[in-house]
Amino acid sequence: MPFNIFLFMYYDMHMTHTAAIFDVHDDCDVRLNYVKKVLEDNGYETDIYLPDFDHYAKKYRTSLKPGIHYLHILPYKSNFSYARIHSFSKFAHDCMETAKEKHYDLVYAIIPPNSMVREFSKLKEADPSMTLIYEIKDMWPETFPSRKLSKALALPFSLWRSIRNQTLDKGDILITECNLFQDILIKQTGIDRFHTIYLCNQQIMTEPVVPAKPLNFVYLGSINHVIDIERICSFMKVMNTLEPSHLEIIGDGDNREEFLHLLDENTVNYTYHGLVFEEDKKIEILSHCHYGLNTFKDTACVGLTMKSLDYLAYDLPLINTIHGDTERIVEEENIGFNLNDIEKTAHDIHSCSDTAYLNMKKNVIAVHEKYFSIDVFTRKLEDILPK
């Protein structure tokens, strides 16, 4: 064999491929770091690109994570505004231009914004050799919180949806974060090659015990427009008529004052902790809680949330209002209660024996291992990567 051909074959076999992950949100701790590790373990030198604007604080970041590339993004003040749409559209275009300039072998683009699909589909047409992966982590405009406004905005929402759906088939690999999204997209697009890969995290508590009374519930996470604070308050009020009950709240958000005011109006006993980042303090609070409140509004088009995974990681059974994947898992795997009827659910919880409750906690740990462990995530993503 001529030496130059041998050298080419050797170089081709040992060459490091390059990959880039683009995300308009900072999902490093809940998704991107796991994706990056899988890509790197499979021979891809991987970069992560995020915006330099904090979407929750609505200000530019002052603390940047090491090893992350930040792209400049236009600021905006309201989540429901033209300024945000324009900002996200420009960010998607800049992501595409960055990938084009760097000539990555693989691009992993997280949707929304829907304009990511429009931009990277153009790049795929120009460079067919690039492997393009689309991950649908949210459904916009399907998750718009108001049904009344959704009807009034039917035409612009249809156009917004088409930005995502029209060229989604340009992706070599299509990933959804829950089966609910997959079902919706199959109906909308006719594409039938989606792969559902659930969110994952590390199991924190693995020795289930029955906490002491009073009955403690916890709400953990962002207090925003998609959280059904009215149903939480109604449920806690009914629960308190059956036995002394208490609500722990960890988090913050635009609707925090409204939430606390409504709890006060309904004479619900609660402790507001604000944002808690220290793991020891979080464990201290959650270790004496019985259930996690996974209560989104019915208008929310979501089948699984990071909030529910957080509860499961701390071996907490769910009080759940999310349809699709979570509703099915709660029912089939006996890891809590679906809150379809407040009175009935409250009485079921009140009459739940310690033995039955402890069995639920054991099921929670088993379900986390079965669906949401890091090992399961790694295996599923590796299975669909180009060989």
Residue given tokens 């689309």 in the structure block: 134
Contacts of 116 (CB under 8 A, 6+ apart): 22, 24, 92, 95, 109, 110, 134
Residue given tokens 């429009």 in the structure block: 118
Q: 70-74, 80-84, 217-221, 346-350: lowest mean pLDDT where?
A: 80-84
Contacts of 315 (CB under 8 A, 6+ apart): 203, 204, 205, 206, 208, 361, 364, 365
Give the pTM.
Answer: 0.89
Question: Residue-wise over 209-221: b if at least 16 C-beta within 10 A, else e?
Answer: eeeeeebbbbbbb
Given a contact cutoff of 8 angstroms between Cβ atoms, the answer to whether 360 and 368 are in contact is: no
Note the pLDDT of residue 37.
97
Taking residues 195-209, report their average pLDDT: 92
Residue 69 burial by CB count (10 A; 0-12/13-18/19+): exposed, middle or buried?
middle
The CATH 3.40.50.2000 domain(s) of the chain lie at 3-200+374-384, 215-371
For the domain made up of 215-371, the CATH class stated in words is alpha beta
Write out the two tokens for 269: 């006993």
Give the β-pairing of 69-71 and 291-294: unpaired
Q: What is the CA radius of gyration of the chain?
A: 23
How far apart CA 90 and CA 86 sit, in angstroms, is 6
Higher pLDDT, 339 or 300: 339
Given a contact cutoff of 8 angstroms between Cβ atoms, the answer to whether 53 and 59 are in contact is: yes
- 131-170, pLDDT tens digit by residue? 999 999 998 877 766 556 556 666 677 888 899 999 999 9
Note the pLDDT of residue 153.
65
* 122 band by pLDDT with thresholds 50, 70 and 90: very high
How far apart CA 211 and CA 216 sit, in angstroms, is 9
How far apart CA 117 and CA 230 sit, in angstroms, is 36
Residue 22 DSSP SS3: strand
Domain 3-200+374-384 listed as CATH 3.40.50.2000: yes
70: left (phi over 0), alpha (psi -120 to 50) or beta: beta
Given a contact cutoff of 8 angstroms between Cβ atoms, the answer to whether 198 and 371 are in contact is: yes
Write out the two tokens for 305: 């949330």
